[in-house]
Amino acid sequence: MEDNKNQEFTPVVNPALVKAMEELKEQKSKDAEKNFIVQLRQARLLSPAIIEVKDENGDFVPAVEGKADPKNTRVNFMMLSQKDGQKFLPAFTSIEEVRKWRKEEKLQNVVSTFEQYLAMITADENGPNGFVIDPFGSNIIMPRELLVKLKEAADKFRNEQVMVGELKDYPDKLAEKLISFFEEKGNVEKAFLLAMTRGTAQGYLVVVDYDGAENDTPEQSRSFYDEIAEAVNGCLDGKGLSIASVKDSFGSKASDNRLPFYTR
């Protein structure tokens, strides 16, 4: 829970998502849609709510900063209603966007992720009809029907078995391109090149140990991974490419006890 006062010191801002929404409005292309979903999944959004806690008499009263007990707290998220009766949860990319709706100094906000919105909306068929991002700005609506499809796709993706192992046929051209890129960048200490199968789809996994990985934001990591993917474009022979860091749990486990194909 955060109020406006706290937001001044720990502001929620989403420049990558805001830019993606602008591009989506301008281009309306598949690439713009894909980038928007990617940025939305990484965003932290503000959800205005009425937050109450139980007092000594067992009655619910407005929460006081720093005194909320999760076991005795209830959160009622505010809704936006349309003329046709549909209701949407508002999601704001910044406190400035919240203030376009309500300017009260004591307005309470819950910081929520896309996954949390997804869970709230898809869990109850009689609940909100979706959520809307920056309703008094970009006004991007995420209807329930789309969210259900995204959840089903995400569940299927998570449930597919992933297998990582040594390469049977070594992709010399891909390895050469990767080595050339790493040497040019100069920030990769070592890298692993492995085979990866998800479900029936075969591909490659590149695990990198690079300078500053432990301090990178998800956006910074993705930007570097995108550079790697672009560098090897045309060398994959129709197979997929996944990239991970040795600093995250998946990359660490996949590269454990394996020899790197590149060392600085």
Specify whether the CB–CB gap between 135 and 101 falls below 8 A: yes
Position 80 scores a pLDDT of: 93
Instruction: Say if pTM beats, i.e. exceeds, 0.75.
Output: no
C-beta separation of 196 from 204 below 8 A: yes
All structural domains of the chain: 2-159 (no CATH), 162-263 (3.30.70.1350)
- Residue pLDDT tens, the chain, 264 long: 444 444 444 588 999 999 999 999 998 788 888 889 888 988 999 998 888 877 777 676 666 654 555 567 778 888 999 888 899 999 999 999 999 998 765 568 889 999 999 988 988 888 899 999 999 999 999 999 999 988 887 777 666 678 899 998 899 999 999 999 999 999 999 999 999 987 777 899 999 999 988 887 777 888 899 899 989 988 888 888 999 999 888 899 999 999 999 999
- pLDDT given for residue 3 in this prediction: 43
- Beta-strand pair 240-245/262-263: unpaired
- Report pLDDT for 1: 41
Of 92, 79, 99, the C-alpha closest to 17 is: 92
Alpha-carbon span 112 to 46, nearest angstrom = 6
pLDDT of residue 174: 94
The secondary structure of residue 75, as a DSSP letter, is: E
Backbone dihedral region of 245: left (phi > 0), alpha (psi from -120 to 50 degrees) or beta? Answer: beta
CB 109 within 8 A of CB 7: yes
Least Cα distance to 92 among 5, 26, 11, 150 occurs for 11
